Chains A and B, each alone.
Chain A
């Protein structure tokens, strides 16, 4: 809810907003944010899903072929303020890939980033405009979000998994 308020504060023209989720974690968050924006500013912000797998910078070097996810962009991107939504931001490479993918869809007026969890360890000059929570972590830890009561609408808790498997916080 706080993030929805921050977005409205920063953007005069709420009609031009377009939430674009990075799968999979960003999807429920973007939907929630759209619902919150409807409440806060009485605006229907479209929600798109943009898979970044084909734009990853490690495909050539590692030869990995991770499974592709569905991309659905119901709205045109041109002249919109696109707000990328991801659950956890670490190196910034996924956001970089998302921006490259986005540019192939059109020319946004601006791009802003929502990262529910910022765990640090940036490797690229990528900033998060709207942060849910800063959580310092060791680079080799894994950070996941979990719904505390199992329901998609419930509160989210952050689970930090230490390198060798034990849960930390």
Chain B
């Protein structure tokens, strides 16, 4: 696996991504057994270092680690020594002194996982840093599309919503472009960053044009703070113009699938029926997320164990 850490999709090449996806497909089978556990990471310690709350991502990493027989420890920023104004780096260094095999970091500020990775012995996975990247989300989205459509090359993927503030959008843009898809973004003008087309995507402020002929429609979560005020006049306005329902889906291909990183604001980004039923594949995304994270944990812990007393390599 290239690199010690998984901090961004931007750092990965197509070969890395293929390897991760192939490994994830093998891990899916483990999730279908009755005994959903393999001994591969027995005795390894994984730390979830979440400075931003997130039940689903943290739980997904926890289940992934446990299925590999690792010991998983959760550290969230409330009720910890951070209340005593211990700095992020001191927290990370303290945890590192307990010799974890891998640390998973989520923080509201971009770049924090990388800063932590620079300090630690252990490999670091970025579970979301500000509006920058969320690599495992994009990887599980790739996995889902590959399984639904048989391929990623040549597909048209439309990402709809608050592109400017979305780390899921950024990671997915890089991911789908690297794997040969055509990527479009669509949303109200204040939510489409001015220079987004320099990433290699086409930007639309008309949902109809953005969805035209799309194989994959990915709806992003609108944060409540942005629902009123400068970014969009109101929830109703957003839902009416950019919310995805079956009638808007007709602009896309007949067999288009609908995705969302969750949690869904029902009736806003997605209609109620698409949230739970085909062509919405949100629950598959969640299931694939565990297998994908198992793959990443397995691949990144591939370093020989340091024996006690051995000096740093």
Contact = CB atoms under 8 A, between A and B. Distances in A.
Contacts of B40: 54-56, 59
Nearest to A65: B302
A65 B1 contact: yes
A43 to B, nearest CB: 26
Contacts of A60: 42-44, 305
A63 B302 contact: yes
Contacts, number: 51
A69 interface: yes
A169 interface: no
Contacts of A67: 19, 22-23
Contacts of B302: 63-65
A106 B34 CA distance: 9
B289 to A, nearest CB: 18
Interface centre among A56, A64, A68, A70 (most CB of B within 10 A): A68
Contacts of B304: 61-63
Given A54-B38, A63-B305, A100-B39, A69 B26 contact: yes
Contacts of B298: 54, 65
A61 B305 contact: yes
Contacts of A104: 33, 35, 37-38
Main secondary structure, interface of B, reads loop
Contacts of A106: 34
Interface residues of A, number: 22
B29 interface: yes
A63 B26 contact: no
Contacts of A64: 302
Nearest to B24: A68
Contact of B38 (A55, A62, A69): A55
Nearest to A57: B39
Nearest to B26: A68
A61 B305 CA distance: 6
A55 B33 CA distance: 15
A71 B35 contact: no
Nearest to B294: A54
Contacts of B22: 67-68
Q: Which 6 A-B pairs have the closest CB atoms?
A: A68-B26, A65-B302, A63-B304, A54-B38, A104-B35, A63-B303
Interface of A: 51, 54-56, 59-65, 67-72, 100-101, 104-106
